[in-house]
Structure 1
Amino acid sequence: MKQHVAKWVVATTLAASLAIVPLASGGAQTAHAATKQAASVQSEIAVYLDGQKLALAQAPYLRNGVTFVPMSAIFKALDASVTYEPSTKTIISRKGSTTISLKVGSKKATINGKSVSLTAPAELVNGTTFVPLRFIGEAFGAEVAWKASEQKVVITSLEALMEREQQKWEQERASQILTTTQNVALNDEKVVMIETDLGQGSGVVVGPNEILTNYHVMYEATSAEAYDVDGRTFKIEGVVASNESDDLVIVKTKTALNIDPVSIASPYDIQKGDPVVAIGSPLGVQNTATDGIVSNIVADKDITYIQFSAPIDHGSSGGGLFNQYGELVGINTLGYDDVNMDINFAVSIDDVLDLLVDYISKPEQTPKFIASKLPESLKDLSTDQLASFMTKNFSSISTTAMSDGALTNWTVKRDEKGWLVFEANIDPIFYSLYGEKVKDQIGSWAYNTGYELRKRLPDETVRIVINYDRVYDFEPQGYAPSELTALGDGKWRLHFAILDYQGKTTAVVKMR
C-alpha cells in the first residue's frame, strides 16, 4: 500500500482539555471517598481502545471530572514503555519520539522536557498507581472521548487516526485518477520541444518563463528555442539552474510562456506497476504521447531513476513522465536501443525537486549557456600532453548499450605525412557484445570527437584510430596476417582498427 505521509501536531499544553464530562454527581471527594466511589461505579465505566474493550485488573474511576486508569495497563495498551521510580514517585513513559514524565500528587508534568499543567495529579490507591486518562492518551497523539450515555471512554490511538487519514486520502486519490486521454489533455501544452544549435530535445514548463530539461540537451549549445503545441516559438536566454550529475537544468525564456506549469508529484507516491504517460518529441515528432507502467525504481549513486515501459526515443530527452493523476514524476533522460522490450529511464521527481528548491531559493540567476569544459585551444600542447588530454576527456564512448565502451592506452604521434594521429584501444568485451548494435553511435562519437579536436587544432590534419586488441590462447582464424602476432607459449595477439577517422576542413570515417 502506498504510504501517505500525514503531519500530526500534538498540543504541548493540554491543561484546558483534560477533563472528561463527569457523571451526574458533584462535590469534592477525598482519596478515601474516591476509592469507595471507584468500587461503586467500576462496573459502569468501560475503556475502549480502537474499538476493543480493555480488560483492566483495577477498575477505572471518576473524580472531580477526571477519569483515572491503572498506570501499567493503559501504557501497555498504548504500546508505550513505562518506568516507575518509587523513591520520587515519578512515572516516565516513552513512545516513539515522545517522552512524558509526571509525579504522583503533582499537578505538573513534562512532555519532551516542556512543562504542562494537569487538572489532576496521578494518584496512588490501594498500592496501585492511577493516572489521568485523557492526559496520557492525548500526550501520545490519541483522541479521547467520553460517551456519557454508554458510560464509557473511547480512545482512538495515533496509529488508528493515521490509518483513518490514510484511507481517506486513498479514497480521495482514487477519485482523481485520469484516463490516458485526460492525462494527455491536461499536460500536452505543458511539454515543449527544444531546438538548439547542436540538437533537439524536450522540456516541461515549471514557471512563468522556466522550462525544465536535461543537462545534456543544453550542454555546449550557444542558442536555443522552445516550441509549444500551438506553434508558438520562445527564445531561450540560457540556463538559470543546473545539476550536471542529475542531468537536469532549468532554462529561462525571453518572454512569458503563458502556460500553466506542471503539477509536481510527491516522491513517496510512486511504486512499481503504476501507470504512467510519457510526453516528448522523439526524433523531432513534436509532443508524442505514449503510455506504460513503472517497471522499476533504480538508485544509481546519488540519483534515483524511474524505469518505465512507455516508448521514447532520441529527442524525448527532457520530456515529462506523468503519473495517473497527471502529476510530473520524472524527466525522461535515456533508454536502451535494440532490445526486446522498452527499457527507458526518467530522473525521479525526488532529484527534480532538489533543483527546483535550489532555484526558488535564488531565482535571480543571469541566464547563460553551458560552455564546453574543454580548453579553447590545444595548439601549444605536446603529443604527450595531448594523450593525457584524451585520457581525461575521452575515456569512453557513450552508447545506449548496457554499458559504455571504455577507451584505454591513448597515444598521440605525428606520422610520416605530419598528421596528428590519436590512437586508443576499445574494451574488447564491449566491442564483441555490442559493437555491431551500436556501430552508428561509435561513428557519431568519432565525428563529434574529431570536430572538437579540429576546432582546437585548426591547422592540423587529425586522425583518430580505435583498435581492437586482445590476447588469445589459440590462433584466431579468418584475420589478415598483419592483424595477428605470435607471442609464444601458444598465445596470439589479435589487433585491428575498428574505426579510422580522418579530417581537416571535412572528415571521413571508416568502420569495421
Structure 2
Amino acid sequence: MAKKENSKETGKRISKSLAITMIAGITFMLLFVYGTAGFLLFQYFKHEQPEVASAPIEAYEEPKDEEKSESKEENSEAEEPSSLQAPPSDLVAAYQTLESPMERNMEQVASLKESVVQIEAGESQGSGVLISEYGHIVTNYHVIESSPYMAKAYFESEDGTVMKKDLMLLGYDNRQDLAILQVKNREGMNQKPIPLGAVSEVSAGQRIVTIGSPRGLINTVSDGIVSGLRETEAQTLIQITAPISPGNSGGALLNMKGELIGLTTFKIDQSENLNFAISASDIKQLIDENPQWINP
C-alpha cells in the first residue's frame, strides 16, 4: 500500500512540473512573437516617416556703420508723411457758400426779436408781434382777455434795455383767439415791423423759428420744424416741434425768410411736440375784414 501511494505522489509531481514547463514555454513564445512584431513595426514606421527639409542657417554678420546710416535714411524717406497742402480757394469758397446761407438766415431771423414784445394785461402775461410801422401789434385774445384795456408792451432793445409802452385795444375775434392792439405813444421806437408770410408756402419739415417770452423770459428764441397743417372749423393751425410754454402765447412763428407765418398759441399737455400756432392767413383775414384797425 505504501508503494502505491508513493507512486501516486511521484506522478502528481511530474504532472505539476510538466504543466509549469508548458506554461513557461507558451509564455516565452508569446513574448518572442510580440517582441518580434513590435520590432518589425518600429522599423517600418522609421523608414516610412517623411523628412522635413530645413534651410541652412547662415552666420549673422553685424552691418557696417555706413550700411546702417544708409538704411536709416531710406526708412526715414519712406516713412516721412507728405506735407499737407491747403485746399484750393475756390473749394473753400464753395463750402462757405453751402454753409453760410442757413447760418445767415438764422442770425437774421433771430435779430427780429426786437419786434416781438412781452405783453402784460392784469395778471395775464404773453407775447405779441409788431406788424406795422404805426405800432400795431397782434396777439392772442386770451392773453389780454382778463384786462383788455390795461395792456402794456415791453420792448427789449439790442443793448438789453427794456422800454414799456401802454397799448390800446383796436379789435378782436375771440372765436379765432386773435386781437389787434396799438402802441399809444410811439416816441423812441425804432423797431421794424415783421411782414406777414404766405401760409400756402408752409409745408411739413420746413425749418421755423419762434420768438416769445416764456415764463417772462423776454425774447427767447427757439427753432424747430413744421410737423403739419391742421384745419379746423374756425381756422388753420400749424403744428410745430418748437416748444411752447406759458408766456409764449401770441409770440412769433417765423419762416427762414423772416416772415410771420403764425402766432404760437397752445400746446397739448402730457404730450411731446404737440405745439400749435394760429396761421398768418387767419391774421390777414381778420385785418382784411377790419381795415379800420390798421389804417393810420
TM-score of the superposition, structure 2-length normalised? 0.60
The offset of 1:258, in angstroms, is 3.1
Q: Tell me the secondary structure at the aligned position of residue 236 of structure 2.
A: strand
CA distance in 1, matches of 2:109, 2:237: 22
What are the within-5 Å matches in structure 2 for residues 36-435 of structure 1? 178-185=104-111, 187-207=112-132, 208-221=134-147, 222-230=149-157, 231-237=162-168, 239-256=169-186, 257-339=189-271, 341-361=272-292, 363=294
Gaps of 5+ in 1: 1-174, 366-512
* Paired residues of 2:212 and 2:252 also in contact (CA < 8 A): yes
1:342–1:361: structure 2 CA closer, same or farther, 3 Å change rule?
A: same
Q: Tell me the secondary structure at the aligned position of residue 200 of structure 2.
A: coil
CA distance in 2, matches of 1:279, 1:356: 22
Query: Which letter maps to 2:200?
Result: Y
CA distance in 2, matches of 1:320, 1:362: 20
The offset of 1:306, in angstroms, is 0.2
Query: What do residues 352-411 of structure 1 show as CA deviations (whole Å, max 9, x unaligned)?
Result: 11122234355479xxxxxxxxxxxxxxxxxxxxxxxxxxxxxxxxxxxxxxxxxxxxxx
CA distance in 1, matches of 2:146, 2:190: 28
1:275–1:363: structure 2 CA closer, same or farther, 3 Å change rule?
A: closer
CA distance in 2, matches of 1:176, 1:262: 20
* More helix as a share of residues: 2
* Paired residues of 2:136 and 2:294 also in contact (CA < 8 A): no
* Paired residues of 1:318 and 1:333 also in contact (CA < 8 A): yes
1:233–1:344: structure 2 CA closer, same or farther, 3 Å change rule?
A: same
CA distance in 1, matches of 2:269, 2:125: 18
The offset of 1:302, in angstroms, is 2.5
Query: Which letter maps to 1:212?
Result: V
The offset of 1:216, in angstroms, is 0.3
* Paired residues of 1:180 and 1:291 also in contact (CA < 8 A): no
Query: Which letter maps to 1:188?
Result: K
The offset of 1:266, in angstroms, is 1.2
Query: Which letter maps to 2:254?
Result: F
The offset of 1:246, in angstroms, is 1.0
The offset of 1:259, in angstroms, is 1.8
* Paired residues of 1:241 and 1:355 also in contact (CA < 8 A): no
CA distance in 2, matches of 1:359, 1:251: 13
Query: Which letter maps to 1:276?
Result: I
The offset of 1:224, in angstroms, is 1.6
* Paired residues of 1:216 and 1:247 also in contact (CA < 8 A): yes
* Paired residues of 1:331 and 1:346 also in contact (CA < 8 A): yes
Gaps of 5+ in 2: 1-99
CA distance in 2, matches of 1:225, 1:312: 22
Q: Tell me the secondary structure at the aligned position of residue 286 of structure 2.
A: helix
Query: What do residues 296-326 of structure 1 show as CA deviations (whole Å, max 9, x unaligned)?
Result: 1001113100000011200100000001111
What is the aligned-residue RMSD (CA, Å)?
1.9
Aligned to 2:47: none
CA distance in 2, matches of 1:276, 1:181: 13
Query: Radius of gyration: which is bigger?
Result: 2
Aligned to 1:430: none
1:364–1:348: structure 2 CA closer, same or farther, 3 Å change rule?
A: closer
Q: Tell me the secondary structure at the aligned position of residue 272 of structure 1.
A: coil
The offset of 1:211, in angstroms, is 0.7
TM-score of the superposition, structure 1-length normalised? 0.35
The offset of 1:330, in angstroms, is 0.2
1:362–1:284: structure 2 CA closer, same or farther, 3 Å change rule?
A: closer
1:364–1:350: structure 2 CA closer, same or farther, 3 Å change rule?
A: closer
1:218–1:286: structure 2 CA closer, same or farther, 3 Å change rule?
A: same
Query: What do residues 226-261 of structure 1 show as CA deviations (whole Å, max 9, x unaligned)?
Result: 011121111112x11211111111111111143211
The offset of 1:338, in angstroms, is 2.7
Q: Tell me the secondary structure at the aligned position of residue 260 of structure 1.
A: coil
* Paired residues of 1:297 and 1:305 also in contact (CA < 8 A): yes
CA distance in 2, matches of 1:258, 1:358: 28
Query: Which letter maps to 2:180?
Result: I
CA distance in 1, matches of 2:166, 2:295: 18
Query: What do residues 201-229 of structure 1 show as CA deviations (whole Å, max 9, x unaligned)?
Result: 00000122211000101113041210111
Query: Which letter maps to 1:241?
Result: G
CA distance in 2, matches of 1:285, 1:362: 29
* Paired residues of 2:105 and 2:256 also in contact (CA < 8 A): yes
Identity %: 35
The offset of 1:182, in angstroms, is 2.5
